[in-house]
Structure formats: C-alpha cells, structure tokens
Amino acid sequence: MEKTTRLHILEEKWEEKLLRQCKKLKRMQSHPLHTSLRDPTKNRLKRQSINHISKILQRQHAESLPPLDQQGEPLQDYEDWETEDFTTIIDLPGVGNKEEHTEAELKALTLEVLDRDYHRDSWIQVYTDGSAENAVKNGGGGVFIRYVDGSFTSKSIATGYLSTNFRAEACALLEAAKVLNLQDKLSPKTVFLTDCRSLLQSLQTHCGEHILLNIRRELQDMPKRTDIILQWIPSHCGVPGNEEADRHSKTGSKRQQVSQPTSYSEVKTIIKNRFNTNWKIRMEVEKEDNLESLDRTQQVIIFRMRTGHCRLLSHLYRLRLAHIDEYPCGTDAQTPEHILQSCPSYSTLRQEAWPYPVDLKEKLWGPTSSLRRTADFLVRTGLEV
C-alpha cells in the first residue's frame, strides 16, 4: 500500500520534520533550544531528547547534509527596500503552461519576443542558468552576455558542494550582475534572461536570504547606467543564448566545489530530497508520479482507484456498508479494474476514451495525459468513486 499510494510512513515523515526543525532552530539565535542543539549531548540513560535524535539523524545522512559544526545563514524575516529600480516579468506572451506547447513552439515564441521587445541591436542580452547534481549538490552557474556591438562574454562558476538548483540559478544571476558592474560603459538597456521563475518571484518579495540580498544590491547599483528588466524564458527549447548558459552551468558544476553556509530554505530542500531519494530506493520506484500534475478532483479520483479505497461496491461490501459487491451488469464485482477494463455497461464510453487497448497500469500510473483521460472517463460514467 505504501508504494501504491506513494505516501511515506509516519516515522520517516516525523524524522524529516524533526531534522528540518532542528536546522531551523540552529539559525534562530534567540530561541531557547539554539544553544542546546549546538552543545554536545549529555550522557544520559534515556537518549530520547531532540538533541540526541537530531544528532543521530545527522550522522545517518552526513554525506548529504551540512556538517554539524558548519555555521548556517541566520534566519531573517526580510530587508525593507524602499524602491526597486528594475522590472521583473515572470511570464512570456503566448506561453501559458509549458506542457501545452512543443519545444519548437516554445522556441519560436521566445525568439519572437526577444526580437520584438529586446532586440540585440539596442539591448544587452544577459542569459543565466544554473544546475545541480540531483538538484542538491555540486552546483554550477553559467553566464552568457551578448553586447550590442556583437561581442560576448561567458563564464562558468562552481556554486558549492551542497547547492540546490535555486542557489545555482541565483549565483549565476549574481555573477552576471557583477560582471556588468565592472564594465566601464553599458548600453542604455539591459535584459537578464533566466528560465528560473521561482528566482524572479523571490526577488519580487522581501525575502531576506543572503544570496537574494546580494543580487538586489548589485542590480540597484546598475540603474544609474542602464535600464534593467529581468525576463523569464522557457528552458531547454533551443534558444541559443540559454543553451550557451546551460552549457557553461554544467561546466561549472564539474569544477572544484567548496563548502559554504546554506540558507534554511536550501537545507529544507536538501533534507526533503534526501528522504525522497531513500524512499524511492527502498520502494524501488523508478520515476516520478504524474499524479501531482492533476487538479485536486482528478487526484482524488485516481488515488481512490489505485488503492481501491473508494465508494465502489467491492470496497463498501468489505466495510459491510453494502449487501453485495456485484455490479448490476452481473458479470463481476464492482472493482476499479472491472469498471476501467471490462464492464459492459460502459463499453461505449470506454471505446471513446481508449480507441485502442490500454492496460490498467497505463490508465492509473501512466503519463499525465493518461491519468486525465482516466479521470474524465470516470466522471462521465456518473459513478461516485
């Protein structure tokens, strides 16, 4: 059932939350537990304190977590910026959900916007990208800058042994801003092009993470010399500048990495990734579940059909809430498999949904399009599942 539902057991969820909470408390210097979590554990017979347990978990996951003695970035609520002298755009005209477009369509739409709104003859085009191994370590950032005179600058940087994709993207943007600030003269207009929407959204808030504060400081030094726009573009669709930045980020991730202080949001991502990876290995799960890409109603339908814990007669009969488990068609028990695969009452609807034979695994564990088709079919049957 654990593999079917893809839900972690409570003990693992508790350990993950405890480890995250301890990392948070270590960054809150005013909290009563801040000092005790940094001090050695006391030699007691009952080793069940939060201090003991957190250090045991730290040792178990030592290879993927910051060392116990490493100083983490302290928590900050926000830094109040009176003005922002740059514009942030987190969408692209004509591009809604990336899944609704082919790679060629995304490339064409992106190049059209760049040619119309940020033409290379009048805009400095700054492409940045970042990536990390398994999204949590050996990060690398890439920068590709094309100037209006046709010249360009490129750079690769390592962003740390423990580095999330977000930090890699942020370090790349920070490095690009530093490179431009060192230039003697800039063109009147500069556009930063990144495929990390979450980074641009974070820059729009008053988040107090050090890396974001440093980016803001660098960007606010530039408007005296050039107008700035931060523009999101879709990733991996063949846009030349973005592909160059991506290539440099992969080069940066192969460089020698150094250990550096991590923010609380990074540590949360690293811990979550660690527990998810361990769970997938233990449960032999090979790929991500597409269930999360559905809307809430569709998720509920698919989840119930996977587990069999639903309002079909087969389950209600086991709970003694129905007198029989057989469906009115009289051919078999009313199970999820029967409804989806063989019930004659819905043969016409089934043929419309799946003109060709499709097995049960494809319908309940397949790609997003298959899951949506299954959920729509069940809605059309009128059954309450």
Cβ–Cβ < 8 Å for 267, 20: yes
Phi, psi of 43 (to 5 degrees): -80, 80
Rounded distance between C-alpha atoms, residue 130 and residue 245, angstroms: 8
Place of tokens 């809307």: 295
Per residue in 162-208, pLDDT tens? 899 999 999 999 999 999 999 888 889 999 999 999 999 999 886 66
**Bridge partners (DSSP) listed for residue 232:** 194
Vertex 150, ends 147 and 151: CA angle to 5°? 70
pLDDT reported for residue 181: 92
**Rg, Å, the chain Cα set:** 26
SS3 114: helix
In the chain, how many H helices and how many E strands? 16, 6
Task: Give me the DSSP letters along 168-228.
Answer: HHHHHHHHHHHHHHT-S---SEEEEEES-HHHHHHHHTTB--HHHHHHHHHHHTSTTTSEE
222, two tokens: 């530039």
Residue pLDDT tens, the chain, 385 long:
666 777 777 888 888 888 888 888 877 777 777 676 766 666 654 557 777 787 788 777 777 677 655 666 776 655 555 445 788 999 998 887 777 788 999 999 999 999 999 999 999 999 999 999 988 889 999 999 999 999 999 999 999 988 999 999 999 999 999 999 998 888 899 999 999 999 999 998 866 688 888 999 899 888 778 899 999 999 989 999 999 999 999 999 999 988 777 888 888 888 888 888 888 877 777 677 888 889 999 999 999 999 999 999 999 999 999 888 887 888 889 999 999 999 999 999 999 999 999 999 899 988 899 999 999 999 999 998 8
Q: What is the pLDDT of residue 28?
A: 77
**Would you call 31 helix, strand, or coil by DSSP?**
coil
The secondary element (H helix, E strand) that includes residue 246 is: helix 240-253
309: which 2 tokens? 């814990």
* CATH 3.30.420.10 residue window(s) in the chain: 86-260
Phi, psi of 162 (to 5 degrees): -100, 100
- 233 three-state secondary structure: coil
0.85 exceeded by pTM = no
- pLDDT value at position 83? 46
CA distance 67 to 61: 10
pLDDT for the residue 231: 96
Q: What is the pLDDT of residue 239?
A: 94
For tokens 């990536």, the residue is 131
Torsions phi, psi of 128, nearest 5?
Answer: -130, 150
Cα separation, 16 vs 357, whole angstroms? 42
Closest CA to 58 of 44, 49, 48, 68: 68
Name, in order, each residue with C-beta under 8 angstroms of 7's C-beta and a sequence gap of 6 or more.
Answer: none
Contact 171, 211 (CB under 8 A): yes
> By CB neighbour count within 10 A (0-12 exposed, 13-18 middle, 19+ buried), where does 20 fall?
middle
pLDDT reported for residue 135: 85
CA 333, CA 324: separation in Å to the nearest integer?
9
Q: What are phi and psi of 150, to 5 degrees?
A: 95, -15
* Strand ranges inside the chain, DSSP E: 86-89, 124-133, 137-146, 152-162, 189-194, 227-232
Q: Is the dihedral of CA 178, 179, 183, 186 positive or negative?
A: negative
Position 223 scores a pLDDT of: 75
**Dihedral sign (CA 95, 97, 98, 99):** negative
For the beta sheet containing 86-89, the strands, ordered from the edge strand earlier in sequence to the opposite edge, are 86-89, 227-232, 189-194, 124-133, 137-146, 152-162
Rounded Cα gap, residues 240 and 110, in angstroms: 11
What architecture does CATH give domain 86-260?
2-Layer Sandwich (3.30)
